[in-house]
């Protein structure tokens, strides 16, 4: 479903991703953990083509990009293969919850307004936000905004959803409702890549955990193995510092 091969990315001469190769199967839930600054967000941004890697190959759902030679159209095509959920929700502030979802359907998918509204309402119901359909983001809690953001990411029917620390901006009592929505998506076999510091959640939801440090994949494996029984000293040091 998703394949990254030998991805390199630098910012102003500083190597942020150093030869990262990752495969993700259809229906798989992959959790990425690692210290701040290790390149996790950059990796997700490369997957979503918000950044184009300096070199390497990206393939998502049969669509590929050769980073040595590509067109802007190819970048847009590949970006449409994944939906992204950000730490700070990034909703359109001047649009209602429903309009946040229908915007992409009307503009990108050329859907009629009424058809887009139907899809939007179904998705809001899925994340438990139908009652707030006509509310603006500022009137919603962080947890509610994030659930709208998840519905929006689902709207374009992407091959995979990418989550960048979806709960780290939330008040502790709002974390559960967002994790609950993600767990429900996992039950439905939604392909997901999730960057998080919530280790209990990772153990519960992940099929596989990838530990990154200094722009590289240090190790990957079953959540139990990486989070509870790793014998890698870098992984162990990171996990110790979390508790």
Of the candidate residues 20, 31, 34, 41, the single one contacting Mg ion (CB under 5 A): 41
Contact 60, 82 (CB under 8 A): yes
Q: Which residues in the 31-90 window bind ligand ADP by CB under 6 A?
A: 34, 36-42
Residue 40 vs 147, nearer CB to Mg ion = 40
243 forms part of the interface with ligand ADP (CB under 6 A):
no
Residue 12 vs 71, nearer CB to ligand ADP = 12
3-state secondary structure of 82: strand
Sign, CA dihedral 177-203-192-237, equals positive
Alpha carbon 160 to its chain's center: 8
Q: How many CB atoms lie within 10 A of CB 108?
A: 12
Contact 149, 90 (CB under 8 A): yes
| DSSP structure class, residue 38 | S
38 binds, among ligand ADP, Mg ion, none (CB under 5 to 8 A by kind): ligand ADP
Region binding Mg ion by CB under 5 A among candidate stretches 9-17, 33-41, 145-153, 168-176: 33-41
100 binds, among Mg ion, ligand ADP, none (CB under 5 to 8 A by kind): none
Q: Residues interacting with ligand ADP, by CB under 6 A?
A: 11, 16, 34, 36-42
């Amino acid at each position: 479903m998703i394949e990254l091969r030998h991805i390199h990315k630098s910012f102003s001469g500083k190597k942020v991703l150093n030869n990262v190769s990752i495969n993700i199967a259809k229906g798989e839930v992959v959790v990425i953990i690692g210290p701040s600054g290790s390149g996790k967000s950059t990796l997700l941004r490369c997957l979503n083509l918000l950044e184009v890697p300096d070199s390497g190959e990206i393939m998502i759902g049969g669509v590929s990009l050769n980073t040595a030679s590509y067109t802007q159209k190819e970048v847009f095509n590949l970006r449409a293969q994944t939906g992204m959920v950000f730490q700070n929700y990034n909703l359109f502030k001047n649009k209602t919850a429903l309009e946040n979802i229908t915007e992409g359907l009307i503009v990108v998918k050329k859907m009629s307004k009424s058809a887009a509204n139907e899809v939007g309402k179904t998705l809001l119901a899925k994340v438990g936000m139908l009652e707030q359909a006509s509310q603006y983001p500022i009137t919603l809690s962080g947890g509610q905004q994030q659930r709208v953001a998840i519905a929006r990411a689902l709207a374009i029917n992407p091959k995979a959803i990418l989550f960048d620390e979806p709960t780290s901006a939330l008040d502790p009592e709002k974390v559960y409702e967002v994790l609950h929505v993600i767990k429900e998506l996992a039950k439905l076999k939604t392909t997901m890549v999730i960057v998080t510091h919530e280790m209990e959640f990772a153990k519960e939801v992940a099929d596989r955990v990838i530990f990154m440090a200094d722009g590289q994949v240090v190790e990957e494996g079953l959540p139990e193995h990486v989070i509870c029984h790793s014998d890698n000293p870098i992984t162990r040091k990171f996990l110790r510092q979390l508790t």
